[in-house]
Amino acid sequence: MNNIISFFAGAGGMDLGFEQAGFDIKLAVEIDPIMCQTLELNRKNDTLTIYEKNILDATAEEVLQQAKLRKGEVAGMIGGSPCQSFSTAGNRGAFSDERGQAMIKYIDLINAIRPKFFVLENVKGLLSAALEHVSIEDRKKNKDEGIVLRAEQQPGSAFSFILNRIQGYEVHYKLLNSADYGVPQKRERVFVIGILKEDDEPLFPYAFPKKTHSKSAKIKETLFDYADDAEKLEPWITFEQATAHLKGTTMNYQSYSEKRMHYMKMIPTGGGNWRDLEKFGDDVVRQAMGGAYNSGGGKVGFFRRIKANEPAPTLLTSPAQNSTNLGHPFEDRPLSIEEYLAIQQFPKNYKVAGKLMDQYKQIGNAVPVGLAYAVAKSIKEGLQTIL
């Protein structure tokens, strides 16, 4: 039984990884019409139904009907729900907005449909988010005044809420770095895997996939990681390796402003950021950074050229944001759509619908295909024990 229902399907990264592991995606649920167009452009499988639907309005009955499956025939449900409610870069509204509510609805559909397993992917901030967000400043003030945070304000309370809402599943969760699984990108994501229980026992055993790559394959990264298998691991795949096949390809990319281009040309090729402007004098740095000059934090993303000999940083919905610039190592431009696709390991000639910024958004939000494959393969190994 390999039937899968996919939610928050996006551009299809998670689905492609599961298909590569031998699963059959029967239904892809996605609210965004442009992302549905992307799926339609690339999906030739007659057994796949692309369902443009807001998950908040979906019922278990209609989901099964659209998938042409009955309860008990669903092997798995997979989905990477919207992450903005839990991202440390956002306002961390948890379940107070529609994006956070979509995760709750996903859990409720899992409880109703009862697949053999489920996968929930999200940003690492999911693990520490509170049901009621309290800013760092307010936390410090409360601590100084001896005020104890309420239970719903405690870090991790949102994740505990999700775990408590899941019914009848043995739940495993872990933070995975994509680069450790052969993806040319240092993208960290939380994966929550649930295995259906019968008579209070999971249907099959599950263990997260072992790492296949490391920053330094010959050196132990911690006392425990790679202690026995260090010599078997491959080095991380670099940006340069991942994009070598694009040589001579016409690139489509977001243009820099005249001001940004002026300073990017001052950053050394091969990798660097705003710190490299310091050799031109403090006045240059102040002019380049503007109001960010006096802000806290490392500011590593300002005027960044990514390093050619390392995996790319996490891809975002735009490669030219001020604080999270993703500049090409050698050329005076941001990363292109073609490079985004290669880094996320989409197949050659994969088509992405919409305008340029629509394409960046879809690819940047996707689950890397190679990471999805590693997770899917680990589930398949356990599932096969009961088939």
Q: Catalytic residue numbers?
A: 83
Q: Is the dihedral of CA 41, 43, 48, 51 positive or negative?
A: negative
Give strand pairing partners of 6: 28, 78
What is the C-alpha separation between 174 and 181, in angstroms, rounded?
Answer: 14
- Rounded to the nearest 10 degrees, the angle between the axes of helix 369-383 and helix 13-20 is 40
Nearest to 94 by CA among 135, 131, 56: 131
What is the C-alpha separation between 180 and 370, in angstroms, rounded?
Answer: 10
What is the C-alpha separation between 7 and 4, in angstroms, rounded?
Answer: 10
Task: Kindly state the tokens that stand for 189.
Answer: 């994501």
Task: Kindly state the tokens that stand for 86.
Answer: 């839990």
What is the C-alpha separation between 186 and 190, in angstroms, rounded?
Answer: 13
